[in-house]
């Protein structure tokens, strides 16, 4: 595993982490949300998904995340988590869970 507390079907190297296949789409949609939300417009960091390696606020390989999104579609567990996060903590939703087709705009 990638870490002693990680699932057996995870892996990591110096540049990446590979979550279990059953949650890769979930991770991708969370990353898409972070790219959308943290765009630098409020004076904070502009986090970017890209396929160009960089150390400057780039947080994932876009092409890989798009693959994960397709291979692991939204399921009832992810919808329930999105509902719970909205209702209990954030007051907003991850639009990439509610409308999977928005990923095409990335």
Structural domain for 75, as ranges = 22-105
Q: pTM to 2 decimals? A: 0.85
Residue 57 burial (CB count, 10 A) = 12
pLDDT of 1 above 80: no
Q: What is the per-residue pLDDT for 57?
A: 60
71 part of a folded domain:
yes
pLDDT of 23 above 90: yes
11 part of a folded domain:
no
pLDDT of 60 above 60: yes
Average pLDDT on 57-62 reads 76
What does the block give as tokens for 100?
């999977």
Domain count, the chain: 1
Confidence tier at 55 by pLDDT (50, 70, 90):
low
44 part of a folded domain:
yes
What is the residue whose two structure tokens read 């947080």?
59
Q: What is the per-residue pLDDT for 5?
A: 66
15 part of a folded domain:
no
């Amino acid at each position: 595993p990638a870490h002693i507390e990680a699932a057996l079907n995870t892996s990591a190297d110096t540049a990446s982490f590979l979550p279990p296949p059953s949650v890769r789409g979930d991770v991708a949609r969370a990353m898409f949300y972070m790219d959308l939300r943290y765009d630098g417009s409020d004076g904070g960091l502009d986090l970017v998904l890209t396929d160009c390696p960089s150390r400057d606020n780039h947080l994932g390989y876009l092409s890989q995340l798009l693959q994960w999104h397709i291979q692991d579609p939204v399921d009832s567990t992810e919808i329930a988590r999105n509902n719970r996060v909205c209702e209990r903590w954030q007051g907003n939703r991850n639009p990439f869970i509610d409308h999977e087709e928005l990923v095409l705009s990335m």
